[in-house]
Amino acid sequence: MKIALIADVHGNTLALDRIIKEARSQGAERLISLGDFIANGPFPVETLKMHRENGVEMIRGNTEDYIADAYRHERKSESFLALGDTIRTSIEWCSQLFTGEEISFLESLPISIEISLPDGSKLLCYHGTPASNLGVLRENSDDAIFESIIEENGSQYYAGGHTHNMYIKRYKGKIFINPGCSGMPICSYAEGKPASFFAGTEYVMLEVSEKGGFIASIRRIEICKKELLGLVQSSDMPNKEARLAMIENCCCAK
Ligand SMILES: [Fe+2]
């Protein structure tokens, strides 16, 4: 049994298409998208459609909540009001693109999915933390946060996104996975400096053993900058020039 963990697609249909094709061709039975798959990217509506048409299971991230709130003219949450201009503009734009049916669908998505593995252990998938799609769980988060997650949940394995920083961490016998950012993978990051990005996409594939445990592999697929630039150029996304510049400055594997 293979499971593909995808995180933070952010409206990048090219990235999602590459992951779906690769993961399915390698026998992935389940593809789990860990939230934040539509906002702050070129093709929000198409990305949602692609998830639905290809049987990609979805978790509701904080930006899915913001879009639904904006659609319903409820923009009062503290976290929404604290958003930066770029993301807030994208949320407003996205909220005008979706139909009522699509908004209701987004609102109906779960904030976590628990998967039973063949040996009886559980893999708990979520966006930020199991309790909140606004929660932040970094590799170097305080031990107290990992402790409370383990205490509140009986799972052996945990998978979430939101921070865009990929890691696989063992903590007190439990495994925590963050597949990074499938829509705009971070290439390098240093505190206080702007991040640089990788021209492509990333996800984590789990090859689950019948006897227990799994092999987790970090997958990175390079995408030609020209294709990425073309995708953004053909979109009506706000702040398009900034995104184009970001792609121009991306680093490539070769
Ligand atoms: Fe998020």
| Ligand 1 centroid distance, CA of 24 (Å) | 25
| Ligand 1 centroid distance, CA of 37 (Å) | 9
Cα–Cα distance for residue pair 94/114, rounded to 1 Å: 29
What band does 227 get if pLDDT is binned at 50, 70 and 90?
very high
pLDDT digits (tens, 9 = 90+) for 96-121: 999 999 999 999 999 999 999 999 99
| Ligand 1 centroid distance, CA of 9 (Å) | 10
DSSP 40: S
User: Does residue 130 register a pLDDT over 90?
Assistant: yes
Q: What is the pLDDT of residue 195?
A: 81
DSSP 70: H
| Ligand 1 centroid distance, CA of 116 (Å) | 25
What band does 47 get if pLDDT is binned at 50, 70 and 90?
very high
Q: What is the mean pLDDT of residues 180-186?
A: 95
pLDDT digits (tens, 9 = 90+) for 150-176: 999 989 999 999 999 999 999 999 999
User: Does residue 254 register a pLDDT over 80?
Assistant: no
What band does 187 get if pLDDT is binned at 50, 70 and 90?
confident
Question: By three-state DSSP, how is residue 184 classified?
Answer: coil
What band does 78 get if pLDDT is binned at 50, 70 and 90?
confident
Ion ligand 1 residues within 5 Å by Cβ: 36, 61-62, 162
| Ligand 1 centroid distance, CA of 210 (Å) | 32
Query: Tokens at residue 24, please?
Result: 């399915």
Identify whether the C-beta of residue 75 lies closer than 8 Å to the C-beta of residue 81: yes
Q: What is the pLDDT of residue 74?
A: 80
| Ligand 1 centroid distance, CA of 157 (Å) | 20
| Ligand 1 centroid distance, CA of 229 (Å) | 24
| Ligand 1 centroid distance, CA of 25 (Å) | 28
User: Does residue 253 register a pLDDT over 70?
Assistant: no
